[in-house]
Structure 1
Amino acid sequence: MSQNSWLRKYGELVAGKRTRWIIIFVWIFATVILSTMLPQVGKNEVNNAPNLESTEPSVIAGQVIEEQFPSASGLPALLVWHNESGITRDDLTHVKQLSSQLSDNPLQGQTGIVPYHQLPDAALMSEVSKDGTTFIQPIFFLESTDTETLETNIEEIKQSVTDAVGYNPFDEETNSTKLSARVTGPAGIAVDATALFSGADVSLLIATVIIVLVILLLIYRSPILALIPLVGVGFAYGITSPLLGWMAGEGWITVDSQGISIMTVLLFGAGTDYCLFLISHFRQELTRHENKMTALINAVKDATGAVAMSGFTVVLSLLALLLAKYGAYHRFAVPFSLSIFIMGIASLTLVPAILSVIGRASFYPFVPRTLEMKQQRAAARGKTMPQQTAKRGFGLTIGNLVTRKPIAVTIISIVVLGALAGFVPQIKYNYDILSSFPKTMESREGFDIIAKSFSSGSLAPVTVVVDTEGKETGIADYLKSLEQVALLSEPIPGVKNKNLQSYSITLDMNPYSLEAMSFIPELESKVAAYLSETSGIDSPKVWIGGQTAEQHDTKVVGDRDRNVIIPVVIVLISLILLVYLRSIVAMLYLIATVLLSYGSALGLGWIILHYFMGVDGIQGSIPLYSFVFLVALGEDYNIFMISSIWQKRKTMPLLQAIKEGVSETGGVITSAGLILAATFAVLATLPIQVLVQFGLITALGVLLDTFVVRPFLVPAITVLLGRKAFWPGRVYEVSPQSVQRSK
């Protein structure tokens, strides 16, 4: 059975008078049953899941610290007391009250506090910053404490402080001459990060639905048609959410609020695109066939292959994230790929079934009709149809341009994209989570106060553990001598192994900065060398723990994941293109153009973020996230256009096939690109810099694919290569004289 034959039978199945109702019923039944019996994905979100494996140095150090130095271990919440006119003894009374309360009635998961209530006032005053305005009160919790518990604990602390002070110091401005308070540190940062992402779920969903609906209404001017893709996406989400919730509940996967937020955008953007490609084919066929069923069957036959291959490309690319060692990357793989997989099924089953039921009315009030139908309507009204003239749309104009001047189009496109990609080496990266927060976020304000009044390193001290083997090492004096060390604590001996000594180091820099992160391996090697040279310890054992060490390991693991996943994605997409197009040459230049587009998107994103928005560095995770999305989604558009050209070249000369392929797919790909870019751009409206950067760069990449790569560069290269573009696949020879050329 030929491909066209089974695709036609498939079209007859999904558009059949009886089978269409069965398909719609199955989707409704499955959605209701799954949503009723299984938990929604939001019920099983875990927002404090570890990102690093147990074999990473900082994780091992954390285990040693927790076992040997329990009083110094834990996740600290830093309560920052601040009075612009100076901390008073009365202010410190509130510190003592809270210390006493937490000592007598520890919070859930609390591991320890500094016993300030047992210290004299003079000792407390010595802990105030040199400018006399700030006091830091640390409260430690178990490393494994979940974010919800941390949030509850922090709220209890705030309530206790408010009751003691007599007003809410957490609402007081930080430049006030009254006592103000902020909670920061790793615990405060974790709670704020979760609050930002959890608040983004609903707002993202609403904004995405509205923007997709508005764009569809503007493009197609049909309220019914605008709702059909959203219905398809809605059912796909209704299936995906409980399935993910069930998988997470069984412990098979871990989901977090950030991943669900991005998944929502991806589902609406890419899902609407798949629906549009089918709808555009249906619209064209309705102008050729009076029978709506015949038109829909032909549309399904023509669109199914491209939609299926495009969806398969995205699913495989996203599944490649399973190869990641970094938890955040790994957790995205299943939700993203499953949502696209289910959406692909919906666009090829549910959506055509709905179109079969509604028929031409889907496009009301601008209903597409055949020429004969238009003539009949005109005759019934006593009017005469005007003579049909050749349709010359913008897509045909571009098609003519690329076939007549392919060299110029290719050179200009490559120069423009290459110039933008030239900015990529200038990009600076950071792993500072605080830089993703709004400046008014509580933990960010607390950090700013600490950085101003103390060393910014006080936010997250570095813990150094050494095995002295019972020898006098003088390691404390050595650590103090390091220029990066602003403050060094007294050594703490190990509980089980007295030869182990722990030192808390306050750095003289932002502990989340690249400079601090790069100091971690340097510190480890210097301490090991010192112990070996001065104390004669063979193979010294040194552990470096704390947030800065974890961030360093995050960068190392992230670099490893990027170096593994990017080549794998390229190979997977190359194989898919090779199987679908049966052309090595086409596969190579399609991959090359998308990679060039990805580089130009990064470069243009850096130009906008750095030179116009004042961003010093983009988040280190952005290049990998953007690559996976842009390369997979970019090839979507190439597949849709190239499949049209490949189909047409069987019945017409190559130049005409390219011209008509560009013209035929131009409108729908432009519409799809605008919708996809707009949905990702929604992320840029959130007060989270990592999503702003990801949304902006991805949206720019989609627009470059839509308006440069797809309409100009790819068809122009195809013209230049001619018959070689199909090598080693079959070349169909069609005489130009046997086909009427487009005017």
Structure 2
Amino acid sequence: MKKHPLELWGNLVASKKGRWLSLLFWILLVAVVSFSWPQINSIDNVSSENLKDTEMSKQAAKIVEEQFPDDSGTPLLLVWHREEGLTQKDLEKVQALYKELDENPVNAQSLVPPLHKTPPQALLESVSENGSTLVTPVFFEKGANTEAFEKGLDDITKLVKDDVSLEGKYEGNDELNLRYTGPVAISVDATGLFASADVKLMIATVLLVLVLLILIYRSPLLAIIPIIAVGLAYGVISPALGFMADHGWIDKDAQAVSIMTVLLFGAGTDYCLFLISKYREILLEVEDKGKAMAQAVKESGGAILMSALTVVAGLATLALANYGTFERFAVPFSFGVLIMGLTALLVLPALLVIIGRAAFWPFVPRTVEMEEARAKKRNKPFKQHRPQHKFSQKIGNLVTSKPMTIIIVTVILLGALAAFAPKIKFTFDILSSFPEDMTSREGYTLVEKNFSPGELAPVQIIVDTDGKDIDLQKDLEKLNFAASVDEKRVGEKDEAIQLYQLDFKDNPYAAESLDNIPKIKDKAIALLEDAGVSDAKDRVWIGGETASQYDEMKVIEDDEKIIMPVIIALIALLLLVYLHSITATLYLIATVILSYFSALGLGWIVLHYGMGIDAIQGSIPLYTFVFSVALGVDYNIFMVSEVWQRRKHKNLKTAVSEGVKYTGSVITSAGLILAGTFAVLATLPIQVLVQFGIITAIGVLLDTFIVRPLLVPALTMKFGRAAFWPGKLWKKKVDE
């Protein structure tokens, strides 16, 4: 009889020579690539653009650069603040710093305004109305990297540290406080957050997985084995990604690397548990550990491989995105999971067979004959110890006896949670992701409190008048959300190009301000049309940070419309190929989508009502969709594949009941570990990762405790024979 390909693979990696060759091959591979290629974390983080040059805000920036050149550079804003009001002595300290910067420029400095030559009284005109705050700029070289910015910032700190308070609460103290904000400070803070997050995240994730594995399996050695397997996978993934980034094939994104670390330990441990669970079950029946492993690979390898492929396919769809961050996530995520899946089927079997049954100590799985021989040798009465799966058995009996009740209850529960999803509010402000005590956020807060909020991020309105002599300033000032509009500036190369700067009355990063961008454009177009300018729609561009965030919002919305259907279609195709059932494919996809919206709704309840977060980052829905759908299908595949295998020899009720019974504990364990690893992100001081971690962890838990053990088997039971249509199992009668 022809052997199954996975059984042949299992025999190969579990044989006496194969086990050692497999392990040594991988260790040698790790050594070679680690010494030959750079680790991904050693590659400089690329500040790649998230928007393409075709977006309106990018086009506006290009026109401004060409027509209104400014050689000053990238600004760092120094926010000086004293609660009781800035004093003459404070202003003298500001001037002293600028004199030093003028005479001895710091690293990457390009320009400083001559404030030291200005009479102190003249500076008072720039102080806020309440007299407490002054904002002064220092310009850095355009094109300088974050490392250069950071060094320059450190140099300034050394010059002022004895005269000002740079950290701690600025409210209530009587000192002169200084905070940094603006593009330079934000860039430095963002890089610093992710740089410090990587090590903390790795340590926290490893410790959490280790503790959970020990608690679940009560076997110290078995807890370490998945960690070793994931570590060996990471030993290839990190230098391989470093090689790609070093050669310019991909852009290194610190946020992507952080999340990839969590994904590897979470999903990687899951794949390990799927194989370990099956291996342990077979060791109770098969004495030869090599043969037991070959059978375990045969029975669980397909589910592991398919689970990995669904995640790889799902994450790879991010490459279709136009938004830069999404696109940069595609390769690290999909490549990492692919290598982890291969490791689970190559390295892990070799490790388990080499260690043997000792890996499960002190709860060693043995056959009945082995237990009898052991008891006889010790002169003790024979007691057979077998896993009972009592709780999982009860769940299996429940869903097979009352499937309709289970379906109604779970759908109502998940639907009620999903009803909160439309209430979610979004933000595209990067500063809102920073800790409140971070200097760039504190600096912005001070500016927002003491000046007109719109002054920090004015909107640039660029129009091409086609040579007509018109002035839009007064008409633009009539917009009810405009605090002020500067006088027009005429292009240096083309006098038909005009630039107006508009300050919002409210926070320029608020959702309402983003919604005003199309209103500004429509108003400018209408004014040009009234002045007789032809093709006015093609002669207006809106720039600035608010316009850029508006473009980000629209691009992300467009990406969602493309990626979400594609990932559903890809995973549906993989499920159809694996299960040979259109019916099962449809209801499995439906349950995962319902679970996703439920996770969003419950996540909003936790974040908004529980943690007081007013809005979540606009990129979160797509991130959580990709991960929730891809990872949620994983557990369904593992459980359903067990049902499909048992259905070949048993009636439907028994197949479903035993499918739930024998996968219950391992999927619950895997779900807890995966949810735990994503929850680790919530310990970081970066709001976007906190929000992503919490919502994804909630999605995993909903899949683990509601969708997989209750809803999916209940639907399978209710559909009956039709659940397998049009595959071979559909031809079997329900009670066969």
Instruction: Bin the TM-score by the shorter chain.
Output: over 0.9
Q: In 2 relative to 1, CA 727–484 (structure 1 residues): closer, same or farther, beyond 3 Å?
A: same
CA distance in 2, matches of 1:525, 1:111: 38
Task: Name the residue aligned to 1:261.
Answer: 258
Change (3 A) 1:534 1:108: farther
Alpha-carbon distance change, 516 to 366 in structure 1, aligned in 2, over 3 angstroms: same
Matched, 1:332 2:329: yes
Q: Map 1:666-681 onto structure 2 (within 5 A).
A: 666-681=664-679
**SS where residue 378 of structure 1 aligns?**
helix
Match runs of 1:455-604 below 5 Å: 455-469=452-466, 471-534=468-531, 536=533, 539=536, 541-604=539-602
User: Once the 2 structures are TM-superposed, how far is the Cα of residue 545 of structure 1 from its aligned partner?
Assistant: 1.8
CA distance in structure 2 between the partners assigned to 1:79 and 1:727 by the alignment: 68
Question: Equivalent residue for 1:641?
Answer: 639
Measure, in 2, the Cα distance between the counterparts of 1:729 and 1:299: 24
Structure 2 residue 312 is matched with structure 1 residue 315: yes
Distance 1:733-1:507 versus aligned 2 partners, 3 A rule: closer
Structure 1 residue 606 corresponds to structure 2 residue 598: no
Rounded to whole Å, the distance in 2 between the matches of 1:433 and 1:41 is 24
Q: Does 1:128 align with 2:127?
A: yes
Q: Deviation per CA, 1:684-739, whole angstroms, max 9, x where unpaired?
A: 1111111111000000000000000100100001111111001011127779999x
451-460 vs 416-425, which deviates more? 451-460
Amino acid of the residue matched to residue 395 of structure 1? S
Residue 410 of structure 2 corresponds to 413
Deviations 1:56-87 (A, max 9, x none): 11111111112222228753321101111212
Question: Partners in 1 of 2:735 and 2:285 — Cα distance?
Answer: 24
Q: Distance in 2 between matches of 1:390 and 1:183?
A: 61
1:594-652 superposed Cα distances (whole Å, 9 cap, x missing partner): 11111111111011111111111111111100000010000000100111110111111
- Aligned twin of 2:93: 94
What CA distance in whole angstroms lies between the structure 2 residues aligned with 1:188 and 1:719?
Answer: 58
Distance 1:27 1:538, change over 3 A: closer
Preserved CA contact (<8 Å) 1:275 1:347? yes
Using a 3 Å threshold, how does the CA distance of structure 1 residues 660 and 414 change in structure 2: closer, same or farther? same
CA–CA distance in structure 2, aligned partners of residues 12 and 367 of structure 1:
22
Match of 1:741 in 2: none
Corresponding residue to 1:292 among 274, 289, 298: 289
TM-score in terms of structure 1 length: 0.95
Query: Are residue 169 (structure 1) and residue 165 (structure 2) matched?
Result: yes
Distance in 2 between residues matched to 1:222 and 1:584, nearest whole Å? 41
1:692 to 683, 690, 693: 690
Q: CA deviation at 1:390?
A: 9.9
- Which residue of the partner structure matches residue 306 of structure 1? 303
CA distance in 1, matches of 2:64, 2:230: 48
Structure 1, gaps ≥5 residues long = 739-743
Provide the secondary structure at the position in 2 that maps to 1:420: helix
1:188 to 185, 208, 212: 185
- Please give the secondary structure, in 2, of the residue aligned with 1:731: helix
User: Does 322-331 or 542-551 show the bigger shift?
Assistant: 542-551
Does structure 1 retain, via aligned residues, the 8 Å contact 2:164–2:175?
A: no
Query: Does the 8 Å CA contact 1:491/1:501 hold for their aligned counterparts?
Result: yes
Alignment of 1:717-736 (within 5 A): 717-731=715-729
Question: Bigger CA drift: 481-490 or 47-56?
Answer: 481-490
Amino acid at match of 1:416: L
Amino acid at match of 2:194: F
Range with greater deviation from structure 2 (531-540 or 729-738): 729-738
C-alpha spacing 1:173/1:721, structure 2 compared with 1 (3 Å): closer
Between 534-543 and 405-414, the greater mean CA deviation after superposition: 534-543
Residue 342 of structure 2, aligned match among 339, 342, 345? 345
How much has 1:449 moved relative to structure 2? 0.8
Any gaps of 5 or more consecutive residues in structure 2? none
Q: What aligned pairs does 1:39-50 form with structure 2 within 5 A after superposition?
A: 39-50=38-49
Name the structure 1 match of 2:437.
440
Matched residue pairs, number? 734
Amino acid at match of 1:345: L
Of 367-376 and 304-313, deviating more is: 367-376
Decide whether the 8 Å contact of 2:459 with 2:503 is kept in 1.
Answer: yes
> Aligned AA for 1:161?
V
Instruction: Tell me the residue number matched to 1:59.
Output: 58
Q: Residue by residue, what CA displacement relative to the aligned partner does 1:117-160 show, whole Å, maximum 9, x if unpaired?
A: 34333332111100001111123345543222222222222223
One-letter amino acid of the counterpart of residue 679, structure 2? A
What amino acid does structure 1 have at the position aligned with 2:701?
L
Matched, 1:452 2:452: no
Q: Which runs of 4+ in 1 moved over 6 A?
A: 387-390, 732-738
User: Which residue does 2:217 correspond to in 1?
Assistant: 220
Q: What SS does the corresponding residue of 1:130 show, helix, strand or coil?
A: coil
The 3-state SS of whatever aligns with 1:495 is: coil
Counterpart residue number, 1:373: 370
State the alpha-carbon separation in 2 of the partners of residues 392 and 136 from structure 1: 66
Post-superposition Cα deviations, 1:571-592, rounded to whole Å, max 9, x if no partner, equal 0000000000000001000000
In the alignment, the residues of structure 2 paired with residue 158 and residue 448 of structure 1 have an alpha-carbon distance, to the nearest angstrom, of: 20
| 252-261 or 432-441, larger mean C-alpha shift | 432-441
Aligned to 1:154: 153
Q: Identity over the aligned pairs, expressed in percent?
A: 52
Once residues 389 and 433 of structure 1 are traced to their aligned partners in structure 2, the CA distance between those partners, rounded to angstroms, is: 54
SS in 2 for 1:140: strand
Asked if structure 2 preserves the Cα contact closer than 8 Å seen for 1:71 and 1:111, the reply is no
| Alpha-carbon distance, 1:485 to partner | 2.4
CA distance in 2, matches of 1:500, 1:131: 38
Does structure 2 conserve the Cα–Cα contact (< 8 Å) formed by 1:107 and 1:153? yes
> C-alpha deviations, 1:249-299, integer Å up to 9, x for none?
111101111110000000000000001100001100111011211211111
Give the letter aligned to residue 87 of structure 2: T
For residues 266 and 329 of structure 1, the distance between their equivalents in structure 2, rounded to whole angstroms, comes to 16
TM-superposition CA deviations, 1:640-699 (whole Å, max 9, x none): 011111011111111101111110111100000000000000001111111111000000
**Secondary structure at 2:4 match in 1:** helix
SS in 2 for 1:13: helix
Alpha-carbon distance in 2 for matches of 1:655, 1:172? 64
Whether contact under 8 Å (1:47, 1:194) holds in the other structure is no
In the superposition, relative to structure 1, how do residues 536 and 571 fare at CA in structure 2: closer, same or farther (>3 Å)? closer
The aligned residue for residue 710 of structure 1 is 708
Whole-angstrom distance in 2 between the partners of 1:326 and 1:662: 41
Give the Cα–Cα distance (whole angstroms) in 2 for the partners of residues 538 and 376 of structure 1: 92
Q: Deviations for 1:413-472, whole angstroms, at most 9, x for unmatched residues?
A: 111111111111111111122221111111111111111110122222222233345544
- Matched residue, 1:395: 392
Distance in structure 2 (CA, Å) of the matches to 1:538 and 1:261: 47
Q: State the alpha-carbon separation in 2 of the partners of residues 390 and 359 from structure 1.
A: 19
Which of residues 280, 285, 288 in structure 2 aligns to 1:283? Answer: 280
Taking the aligned partners of 2:16 and 2:215, their CA distance within structure 1 comes to 31
CA RMSD of aligned residues (A): 2.1
How far off is 1:172 after superposition?
6.0
Query: Secondary structure of 2:435's partner?
Result: coil
Which residue is equivalent to 2:204? 207
Relative to structure 1, the CA distance from residue 608 to residue 220 in structure 2 (aligned partners, 3 Å threshold; closer, same or farther) is same
* CA deviation string 1:231-266 (max 9, x = no partner): 110011110000101100111101111110000000
SS of 2:692's equivalent?
A: helix
Is the Cα–Cα contact under 8 Å of residues 466 and 543 in structure 1 kept in the other structure? yes
Distance in 1, Cα, partners of 2:636 & 2:735: 29
Q: Any conservation in 2 of the 1:651–1:734 contact (CA below 8 Å)?
A: no
Deviations 1:339-384 (A, max 9, x none): 1000001000000001110110010111011112112222222232
Give the Cα–Cα distance (whole angstroms) in 2 for the partners of residues 450 and 606 of structure 1: 30
